[in-house]
């Protein structure tokens, strides 16, 4: 997971928010009326996805934009689930570009006491790079060393509930990390730094793990 700048609120969101939020609040908070069937946030999938070339903000796998179903089709996830926070149903700052696998098959409506690590956190200290590191040997995502108890719990809940070490993400991350190191090593020493900067600046699958790899390569004097 890496930090994503969500960008400013697109035109039209506030209109939908005014018109439809109350229905969700009535249903989930007041027990009035049935579950609303408006889902206009799906119209903004492109506004979210363009920031990362449709790479899922949670698992960092490339979404398949031609697919409307299946695990890698892109969806708009509510970071704080609507069932718990219906007032945020049409809040741009609560929307995450997520593959269906992360949103519907793993995270679902779960919301742990500590919440999740927010890929779009405003505060620098709350951003994913402060919560996670990656084991280069195993390819697993892990909580950063030395986190205080609540933050450790938040990191672990994020890994667990989003299934970030499940085979269907772990395997591809592991493969990507190995390939990234091999690509760096193949370059002349003078070109490695530019290559690494290029990867870190691009929307790239598993770029979050690249930060850990780059730190190790710097420590070892490889770049």
Q: Which residues bind Zn ion (CB under 5 A)?
A: 56, 58-59, 99, 102
**Residue spans of alpha helices (H) in the chain:** 13-25, 45-49, 100, 149-161, 167-186, 189-201, 207-219
How many angstroms separate the CA atoms of 215 and 152, rounded? 21
Please report how close the Cβ of residue 107 comes to Zn ion at its closest, in angstroms. Answer: 9
Please report how close the Cβ of residue 61 comes to Zn ion at its closest, in angstroms. Answer: 5
- Which residue, 181, 188, 174, is CA-closest to 139? 174
Please report how close the Cβ of residue 7 comes to Zn ion at its closest, in angstroms. Answer: 20
Pick 76 or 99: Cβ nearer Zn ion: 99
CA dihedral 101, 102, 103, 108 (to 10 degrees): 100
Please report how close the Cβ of residue 58 comes to Zn ion at its closest, in angstroms. Answer: 5
Pick 96 or 214: Cβ nearer Zn ion: 96
Pick 28 or 176: Cβ nearer Zn ion: 176
Pick 98 or 133: Cβ nearer Zn ion: 98
Q: Are 136 and 212 in contact (CB under 8 A)?
A: yes
């Amino acid at each position: 997971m890496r930090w994503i700048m969500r960008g400013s609120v697109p035109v039209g969101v506030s209109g939908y928010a005014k018109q439809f939020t109350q229905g969700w609040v009535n249903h989930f908070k007041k027990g009035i009326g049935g579950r609303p069937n408006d889902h206009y946030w799906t119209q903004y999938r492109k506004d979210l996805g363009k920031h990362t070339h449709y790479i899922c903000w949670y698992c960092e796998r490339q979404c398949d934009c031609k697919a409307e179903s299946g695990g890698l089709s892109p969806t708009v996830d509510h970071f704080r689930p609507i069932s718990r926070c219906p007032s945020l149903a049409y809040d741009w700052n609560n929307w995450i570009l997520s593959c269906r696998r992360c949103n519907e098959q793993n995270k679902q409506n779960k919301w742990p006491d500590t919440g999740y690590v927010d890929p779009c956190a405003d505060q620098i200290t709350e951003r994913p790079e402060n919560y996670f590191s990656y084991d280069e040997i195993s390819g697993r995502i892990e909580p950063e060393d030395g986190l205080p108890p609540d933050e450790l719990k938040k990191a672990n809940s994020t890994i667990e509930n989003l299934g970030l070490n499940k085979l269907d993400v772990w395997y591809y991350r592991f493969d990507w990390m190995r390939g990234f190191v091999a690509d760096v090593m193949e370059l002349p020493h003078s070109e490695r730094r530019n290559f690494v900067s290029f990867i870190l600046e691009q929307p790239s699958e598993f770029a979050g793990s690249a930060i850990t790899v780059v730190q190790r390569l710097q420590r070892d004097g490889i770049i």
